[in-house]
Structure 1
Amino acid sequence: MRRINYFLSVMISLLCFKANAQDHQYSQFFNAPVYLNPALNGQFEGDVRLNMIYRNQWSTLPGSLTYMTATAELNIPKFGGGVGLMFTRGNEGTAYYVRNNISGIYSYSVGSDNFVLSFGLQAGIGNRTIDAGKLVFGDQIDPRLGYIPGSSTSADLGQLNNKFYFDSGAGVNLVAGNFMAGGALQHLNRPDQSFTGATAKLPMRATAHVSYRLDLDPFNDLDNGQKSYVVPSVVMYRQANITSVSAGIQYKRRAVNAGLWYRGGGVSGPSSFVMSFVFDLFISHEGNEKLRFGLSHDAPTSKHLNYSNTSGTTEGSLGYETTLPSRYGTSKFQTARRCYDFY
């Protein structure tokens, strides 16, 4: 009985947090830049960038909590930004609650050789589904035997299975010297995601992020790719009454990037320590062609959601970028630092 009560307390904490927070968060936010902020779309050195990130959250808890985001971006130099496409999928719980979203992104930048200010717009279609056949109701539970698989229920399930809705977002990002700051708002139109017809608006998600790049070799006449940097960052999320703050530092040297983070979930949300590693494999320096691998692991520190009963959370990311044989033109900003210089 003690184990059952403990299991229920963990699941209640999990369900309450997920019900309020709505959107998932990536520990490797720097390897999911468009998900973080649509203003970061098209902000890379090549012409085409493909990214994918996968998150397996609290892997030993019953029910799947997995998330995936894939993006394809085209850098248009005369815009200082570009156009992109993003697909996000989340699978939560034993009832196979699935959320899908596909969005188009447009970004544009203004500035000079000293700063770059980028703007991004996002619009798309969201969808969520649930397998009602996986739900268990009171009349399917025998007082002596418990749940009887395959038993029927008299509950009226109605149209509890599928919902489509329009979704939108916008963001802004500033890079000035060694300083970068940005913000984004998702679900600007607060779409109704109700299954039953009763209004259930998806709350807006606000994101703010700040980073600073500290050159550890300021007096050495080396290319940027040969230097070492320390990059402290803070990312804050706010959705409904849930606030989460992730703060940490990365050490970047050539093609290797290692980071250590702490994410606090406030009074009601889970907290964790995060370790991340990123490796860039340059296929061709002249063609700006490279392959990026990222790996991170979260160790929860909350009372009910800790490492011993969740085994933590693991993320893996893969990115590829290249330059097309016939470029669209020279970059709008030749010497200004851009957001990709930070990560």
Structure 2
Amino acid sequence: MKKKTLPIVFLILSSLFCSAQDQIYSQFYNAPLYLNPALTGQFEGSIRFNALYRNQWTGLASDYSYLHASGDLNFPEIRSGFGLMFNRSSEGTAYLVKNNIAASYAYIIPGDNFTLSFGLQGGITNLKLDWSKLVFGDQIDVNTGYNPGLISGAERPNVDSRFYFDAAAGANLVYGKAMLGLAAHHINHPDESLTGINTKLPIRLSANLGYQIALIPDQYNRDGTYVIPSVVVYKQENITSFSVGAQFKYKGVNVGAWFRKNGLSNGSDAVVFSAIFDIFSKNKNGEKFRVGISHDATTSKLNYANTGGTTELGVSYQKYFPGSGNYGEYNGLRCYDFY
């Protein structure tokens, strides 16, 4: 009886717990608008597209998958960036699905040796739960375990879907070979309750810091060899998580290793390995297509044997519009050069 019911209980609790916290991407650099709205338009080009898929804990029977897609435009002539992003998450046995679409704007201030940007973001989120997938105590037989033929007498809420407005703001500074970003999401504390009890979504704070160390320098940050140590910190209500690591960048290849610590546990949460490949890069118009892959090896009490780890796949494309005269703006001080 215990062996059959405990996994069900664990997955239900996991689903409910995860719904209160935002997903964290290991390839945060492939989801720039999700990390910080101030990164909108922060790239060398006129247009950029990013997509990232995360399949979490593949060894568990339940589904934890996340999708991010974004597109943004860079307008140096008005020192602005405009973007649009879509996020989707599916969590747990109850298929708790969250869809979000948001627009973002960033104002960029260039200097001789710095680039400072401020960003705002706003969008609509839909949260939906499939109550038919939930398992209640009166559907579990003491002899046979869970019986899908038993109809639960538990009273279910009339609402299984909710829409709400969500807002974010951030700032980012590139100074010489260093980059620092700060952002706050859910600053309007939206109510995402499906039970009628007011449940405010806590603010998610994030900070990212990176530094570019040139081993073999290159004037335009394209063909040199670099080591880029970085730190990313997230805090949402009483949950704090941080990742610290470094990437080795050589021409069109970028490999990295990260250590992630989750505030819920005494030890580490995961060790992350990543690789990025530039399939082609045409320097004359800034055209670049990237493919990234990363894998999280779980090191917490859930352990790797049970979870199977987490895999992320990401792609990115950027270029200048034909005839654009903006190539090389902002003295090459762009956030994208840090990854």
Matched position secondary structure for 1:341: helix
**Offset at residue 15 of structure 1 (A):** 5.1
For 2:138 and 2:326, the matched residues in 1 are separated by 68
2:154 aligns with 155
Aligned residue type for 2:305 = S
State the AA in 2 paired with 1:126.
T
Q: 1:335 aligns with which of 316, 331, 337?
A: 331
Residue 229 of structure 1: aligned partner: 226
- Alpha-carbon displacement from aligned partner over 1:77-97 (angstroms, at most 9, x marks no partner): 123331010000000011111
CA deviations on 1:117-163 (whole Å, 9 max, x unpaired) are 10110000011101111112222223333222243222221224101
C-alpha separation in 1, matches of 2:270 and 2:13: 15
- Please state whether the residue corresponding to 1:26 is helix, strand or coil: coil
* Aligned counterpart, 1:302: 300
In 2: Cα distance, 1:4 partner to 1:131 partner: 22
1:284 equivalent in structure 2: 282
Matches within 5 A, 1:33-44: 33-44=32-43
Q: Which residue of 2 aligns with 1:88?
A: 87
Q: Any conservation in 1 of the 2:272–2:294 contact (CA below 8 Å)?
A: yes
Greater shift, 140-149 or 117-126, is seen at 140-149
Residue by residue over 1:233-285, the C-alpha shift from the partner in whole angstroms, topping out at 9 and shown as x without a partner, is: 00000001000010000000101000000000024486100000001122533
**How far apart, CA to CA, are the structure 1 residues paired with 2:12 and 2:62?**
13
The offset of 1:326, in angstroms, is: 4.2
Structure 2 unaligned regions, length at least 5: none
Distance 2:2 2:93 in 1: 23
Name the TM-score, length of structure 1 as normaliser: 0.92
Cα distance in 1 for partners of 2:207, 2:137 equals 44
Q: Taking structure 1 as reference, are residues 240 and 15 closer, same or farther at Cα in structure 2, changes over 3 Å only?
A: same
Tell me, in whole angstroms, the C-alpha distance in 2 between the residues paired with 1:12 and 1:156.
17
Distance, in Å, in 1 between the alignment partners of 2:104 and 2:328 is: 19
Letter aligned with residue 248 of structure 2: Y
1: distance between equivalents of 2:129 and 2:6?
27
Q: Which residue of 2 aligns with 1:72?
A: 71
The SS at the match of 1:236 is strand
Query: Residue 227 and residue 330 in structure 1: after superposition, are their counterparts in 2 closer, same or farther (change >3 A)?
Result: same
Q: Among residues 310, 319, 322, which one is paired with 1:322 in the alignment?
A: 319
Tell me the equivalent position of 1:52: 51
251 and 133 in structure 1: CA distance in 2 versus 1, 3 angstrom threshold = same
The 1:13/1:264 distance shift into structure 2, 3 A limit, reads farther
C-alpha distance in structure 1 between counterparts of 2:29 and 2:256, whole Å: 11
Is contact 2:270-2:298 (8 Å) kept? Answer: yes
Letter in 2 for 1:242: I
Name the SS for the 2:306 alignment partner.
Answer: helix
Residue 18 of structure 1: aligned partner: 18
Question: Could you tell me whether the CA contact under 8 Å between 1:113 and 1:336 is conserved in 2?
Answer: no
Alignment-mate amino acid for residue 318 of structure 1: V
1:31 positional shift: 1.1
Equivalent-residue separation in structure 2 for 1:151 and 1:132 (angstroms): 15
Please report how far the alpha carbon of residue 333 of structure 1 lies from its aligned counterpart in structure 2 after TM superposition. 4.2
**How many residue pairs were aligned?**
338
The CA distance in 1 between the partners of 2:242 and 2:13, in whole Å, is: 19
- Closer/same/farther in 2, CA of residues 58 and 12 from structure 1, 3 Å limit: same
- Per-residue CA deviation, residues 268-323 of structure 1 (Å, 9 max, x unaligned), is 486100000001122533222121000000001112x1111111000000111122
**Residue 248 (structure 1) aligned with residue 242 (structure 2):** no
Structure 1 position 207 matched with structure 2 position 203: no
Q: Match for 2:76: what amino acid? A: P
**8 Å contact kept, 1:75–1:83:** yes
Q: Is the Cα contact below 8 Å between 1:79 and 1:332 reproduced in 2? A: no
Deviation at 1:225, TM superposition (A): 1.4
Q: List alignment gaps of at least 5 residues for structure 1.
A: none
- Structure 1 residues 267 and 197, CA gap change in structure 2 (3 angstroms): closer
The letter of the residue matching 1:254 is K
C-alpha distance in structure 2 between counterparts of 1:108 and 1:186, whole Å = 18
Structure-2 separation of matches of 1:52 and 1:89? 12
Q: TM-score, normalised by structure 2?
A: 0.93
User: Relative to 1, partners in 2 of residues 1:266 and 1:57: Cα closer, same or farther, differing over 3 Å?
Assistant: same
For 1:311, the equivalent position in structure 2 comes to: 308
Structure 1 stretches of at least 4 aligned residues deviating more than 3 Å after TM superposition: 1-17, 267-270, 331-334
Q: 1:227 to 1:31 in 2, by over 3 A?
A: same
Q: Distance in 2 between matches of 1:60 and 1:172?
A: 38
Per-residue deviation, 1:48: 1.0
| Alignment check: 8 A CA contact 1:259 1:276 kept | yes
